[in-house]
Structure 1
Amino acid sequence: MAPSSLLPLVLFVLVATVSPGGATALATASGASFGYRRSLPLIGGIAAGLASMAVAAAVGLAGMLLAVPSLQLAMKGAGSIYLLWLGWQIAGRGAPNLAGARARPSSFAAGVWMLWHNPKAWAMTTGAAASFAALADGPARLGALLGLAFGLSATLSLSLWCGVGLLFGRLLRTDRQWQALNVVLGILLALTLIPLWL
């Protein structure tokens, strides 16, 4: 396969993963509160979740989810409740040093779980599987290609957003500034649900 034939897929995946959404808001908030190193499990979980969704979409699981409206609605509802809860948790944080030892960054499993209940991510990976099916000679190879593309791109883009959060973390000096940033990030995370329900 010629590298030029992969360019449209690479561009699609880069744009899809770097654009603001729930995962990028979480990475930004985690970077601001915990730094890059302590945010790596969350970044890895989100990237692994997106990669595994791309593989599942390529082998047909997404088609089953789309064919069963009640299952799709249940996933959408559970994912929305979880994202609202995360937004509430982020909005309620103060400066990292005020949170004490109880505050911990989100885990790898939380990142995977959040992605697997995200209808926007399913639409993105299903669309990629349909649009780029001709790049591979079967579902397994397409799954490997999409999984690798989405996993790597998500890792890069979430690292970038985490870095933005880390920059915020270094610029903010007062408790009030931290509270304002956390409220804004929590609201942005909650607002990412609006397109999912319209």
Structure 2
Amino acid sequence: MDHPEFLTALIAFVVIATITPGGATTLAVASGAQHGFRRSIPLIAGMAGGLCSLGAGSALGLGTAIHTFPQIQVIMQGLGSAYLLWLAWKIARSGAPNATASERRSIGLGGGLLLLWLNPKAWTVTLAAAAAFANLTASATSLAIIMGLAFGVAGSVSLSIWCMGGLLLSQLLRTERQWNAVNGLLAIALVLCIVPLWL
């Protein structure tokens, strides 16, 4: 590692980037409220894995393709927006957890990966980190490993915290009306996450 002093700054950047509200954190809250923490682990693992792969890929220069071919980003924005709208619709219609809801499958590993891979915001954050901390090491492979681990671990911790917040929120909800209101607010929050993608 050529510049170890950059590592602390990278960790701070990654923690702030992963803990702040967004589509992934909103989905983690909704999953924690509806399915509990244990059944949300595959979703969290998928989103953290997505962050890990994006961090590593950005360090290896995969982001160059997005800058070289801007239409790729437009396609990602369109697919990502459609996926977020579909997730918001599912959350809004989920109602209160019950025997039937407990049998419903939560969004799993694949859904979490897809959410991150189609999220231009996640690409932007990881590309910014790769550019800002390129001097951390002279080896692109070493940088990819460091970036992948940093985003993967920070994402796991941050999303777990948000998921636990959703679980705690579920303990406060008693009526179907309360659940519908919270699900509606979470769905709206997810839809609002689409706006920055197009700005």
Identity within the alignment, %: 50
Q: CA deviation at 1:100?
A: 3.5
Q: Is the 8 A contact 1:32 1:162 kept in 2?
A: yes
Are 1:90 and 2:127 matched, yes or no?
Answer: no
The yes-or-no answer on 1:55 pairing with 2:56 is yes
| Aligned residue number for residue 70 of structure 2 | 69
**Aligned position for 2:7:** 6
- What is the alpha-carbon distance in structure 2 between the residues aligned to residue 131 and residue 4 of structure 1? 13
Letter in 2 for 1:9: L
Question: Given residue 94 of structure 1, which amino acid in structure 2 is its aligned partner?
Answer: G
Q: Which amino acid aligns with 2:127?
A: T
Counterpart of 2:7 in structure 1: which amino acid?
L
Distance in 2 (alpha carbons) for counterparts of 1:135 and 1:71? 29
Q: Is the 8 A contact 2:56 2:143 kept in 1?
A: yes
Distance 1:57 1:168 in 2: 35
Residue segments in structure 1 that go unaligned for 5+ positions in a row: none
The two structures, once aligned, show a CA RMSD in angstroms of 1.3
Unaligned residue ranges in structure 2 (runs of 5+): none
1:129 matched to 2:130: yes
Q: Deviations over 1:7-66 (max 9, x none)?
A: 110110000000000000000000000000000000000000010001110111111112
How many residues align structurally? 198
Find the counterpart in structure 2 of residue 147 from structure 1. 148
C-alpha separation in 2, matches of 1:98 and 1:172: 16
Any residues of structure 2 matched to 1:91-130 within 5 Å, and which? Answer: 91-97=92-98, 99-100=100-101, 103-130=104-131
Residue 42 of structure 1 contacts residue 110 of structure 1 at CA under 8 Å; is this kept in 2? yes
When the two structures are superposed, what TM-score results if normalisation uses the length of structure 2?
0.96
Distance (whole Å) between structure 2 residues aligned to residue 121 and residue 136 of structure 1: 22
**Residues 166/3 of structure 1: CA separation in 2 closer, same or farther (3 Å cut):** farther
- Residue equivalent to 1:26: 27
Aligned-partner SS, 1:96 = coil
Q: What secondary structure, in the 3-state scheme, does the structure 1 residue paired with 2:135 have?
A: helix
1:98 Cα shift? 6.2
For 1:162, the equivalent position in structure 2 comes to 163
Higher mean Cα deviation, 101-110 or 151-160?
Answer: 101-110
When normalised by structure 1's length, the TM-score is: 0.96
Q: Which residue number in structure 1 is paired with residue 198 of structure 2?
A: 197
Distance 1:139 1:28 in 2: 35
